[in-house]
Structure 1
Amino acid sequence: MNTVVVISLCFRITYTEAINILNSSSKTFAFKTDWGSDLQTEHEKYLVKHCGNVPLFVTDYPYDLKPFYTRDNQDQPLHTAAAVDLLAPGVGEMCGGSLREERLDLLKTRLAQAGLDEPYGWYLDLRRFGSVPHGGFGMGFERYLQCVLGVDNIKDVIPFPRYSRSCLL
């Protein structure tokens, strides 16, 4: 009888673990690696290599780095968001997603802090009579092509290439 063994080829780490890995590295990065700083492509590629050159999920980003609609984990004092990025070998971030905030009171507070309560009143109306926990994600088509084709520079997979004076305004 043949048995199939499936081995997971993805890893999952938190943003805090990612920052600890970057800070314990002997490599010098061009961008800072303090907790609360956004991960840059150089950090993402290093993390993927560090974890065995396989896809890597990074979860629980600092709340201030994510959009107003991202769900608050309410884990003080870190204050993280229920968000995830998929990092791929040779590409860095390929896909990002998050749970959406369905709790109206927290959403109102976040919009007020960002000064967006007036222009995004319509968004609050979507949640005013309740909502269910839900989420969403987005993936850049060019990043997907870059990963599948093994191309190093994203500019080489853009369907409408840019070059000097190609866009006359």
Structure 2
Amino acid sequence: MVAKSPTVQNDTGSPIGATPVWNAAGMTVATAAPAVSTSPYASGDVIGAKMTFAGMARDVGGSGLVQMASISAKSTQTFAAELWLFHTDPAASTFTDNAAFTLAADDFDKVAAVVPITDWYAANGRSYAQAAQLAMPYKLADSSTAMFGVLVARATPTLGSTSDIKVAVKGLLD
């Protein structure tokens, strides 16, 4: 009698080695398209304004991991930036487009992560930047499923139009 090998399955119930089925449950992509200036930015300036990334938790006060952050631009860009992410609305701070990034002392403890974004890819006059494989844990405020963000220039970009960029945050929800 020939012994039969056990069938090992992945978390979707498919046998390992079979065509994989990606189970998207628990993944989220939240986007924001801030109005921006076409005047040159200085390093340290806010690009746009405070952004809200809705749906970053299944329930209020939820948690997860920021897996990736990206910037899509309708023009060719190569600037370095930081995406400051907050688990609670940084309401004590005012973030003004094309003005210096200033974080109020009352909001400093609300920082969930700071994502450096430096790698850009261009095609047909448009560009895309990303920071991937982040695995940055967060826990949101007890009253929200949203995360908040502020994009800060770390170079001197000039954007092509007032609707030039879209920022995305991809998360894995608990």
Q: Same fold (TM over 0.5)?
A: no
TM-score by length of 2: 0.25
Query: More relative contact order in 1 or in 2 (CA 8 Å, sep 6+)?
Result: 2
Instruction: With the length of structure 1 as denominator, give the TM-score of the two structures.
Output: 0.26
